[in-house]
Chains A and B, each alone.
Chain A
């Protein structure tokens, strides 16, 4: 399992220096680590977080937005009519609730369609695994810098240490 500390360090090593989002239990360990470091700016909705990240990007920061996959639905219009149209990149750290059909009912449909949903939005995505973590982060950085659009790193349960092991 990847530690929250290690995860945050990998993002910082990439140059990420603006962190916002809306929590999810899978992301709890990462957010706790960001808060320990005084780096996390909490948003009240995911589209707001994406908007803040866009502003920070234009002001010279490299932003990451943390959210549950349900938050992608909330952010859809902002990701398309702001980030994609204006070519403003953003790293989306998205927890994959409903992965493999095992979760609370509200997560099952989004969990099932998540990859197709991102494909439809033309947002490149990749699922983090401990074994390939280094390449996964490098891939994210490459898309961010070279395509200047949002890129999603999907986090399934148990890959990054949460608040409750």
Chain B
């Protein structure tokens, strides 16, 4: 067991804390359990739940952020996802959208497929983001810091990354209820 493991919060607890601080911001949630848990904790029409296209959550969020520069756009992502689409950190860092907040739940495993290890235990993703040009990039280990830092990032110009170390616990959460085309329509209407 790693030194901090016993004290880490779960991803679902982290999502709950973040959603308390968010209101009507568009949130693009990566595929797998992050989407299912977000749907369970608070299902809002401004949430876009992905069921496929792993690694593309920040790319989709970037498209929204560039098209809607007056809206703060958030993406909920995972360590496996970031590693898969790592080039997008560079695109975000180069384009520097001020309204872009990238939240990464880092549990160091591919949780949805059975906890196979990723390599985020040795690759600090927030440092990669910072080197790629994110204006703010912060790592937090507990709920208190998460709330403090996320509040700060909501006030600042981005692009920003908040990397939250979480444990491997997975909330029991149903598959995404709405059909994908209905999700598209609902999200489009909500962020019009």
The chain A residues found within 8 Å of chain B, CB to CB, are 18, 41-45, 47-61, 63, 77-78, 80-82, 85-88
Counting from the closest, the 6 A-B pairs by CB-CB distance are A55-B63, A81-B52, A51-B59, A59-B67, A51-B56, A52-B63
Given contacts A51-B88, A53-B63, A55-B61, 6 further A-B contacts (CB under 8 A): A44-B88, A47-B85, A51-B59, A59-B64, A63-B63, A81-B51
Given A44-B90, A51-B63, A86-B183, CB of A60 within 8 Å of CB of B52: no
B64 touches A48 (CB 8 A): no
B55 touches A55 (CB 8 A): no
A49 to B187, CA, bound (A): 20
Please count how many residues in chain B sit with their CB below 8 Å of the partner chain's CB atoms.
34
Can you list 17 A-B contacts with CB-CB less than 8 angstroms, sorted by A residue number?
A: A41-B95, A43-B59, A47-B55, A50-B59, A52-B91, A54-B56, A56-B66, A56-B67, A57-B63, A59-B67, A60-B192, A61-B67, A63-B63, A77-B52, A80-B52, A86-B180, A87-B184
Q: Which residues of chain A come closer than 8 Å to B68, judged between CB atoms?
A: 59-60
Q: B1-35: which residues lie under 8 A (CB-CB) from chain A?
A: 26, 28
A41 to B131, CA, bound (A): 21
The chain B residues found within 8 Å of chain A, CB to CB, are 26, 28, 48, 50-56, 59-68, 85, 87-88, 90-91, 95, 180-181, 183-184, 187-188, 191-192
A85 touches B67 (CB 8 A): no
Overall SS of chain B's interface: helix
Q: Which residues of chain B come closer than 8 Å to A44, judged between CB atoms?
A: 87-88, 90-91
In this complex, the member of B52, B60, B62 whose beta carbon has the largest number of chain A beta carbons within 10 angstroms is B60
Of chain B, the residue at the smallest CB distance from A48 is B59
A48 touches B56 (CB 8 A): yes
- Cross-chain contact of A85 among B51, B88, B188 (Cβ < 8 A): B51
A85 to B48, CA, bound (A): 14
B180 touches A58 (CB 8 A): no
Q: Which residues of chain B come closer than 8 Å to A57, judged between CB atoms?
A: 63
In this complex, the member of B51, B52, B59, B91 whose beta carbon has the largest number of chain A beta carbons within 10 angstroms is B59
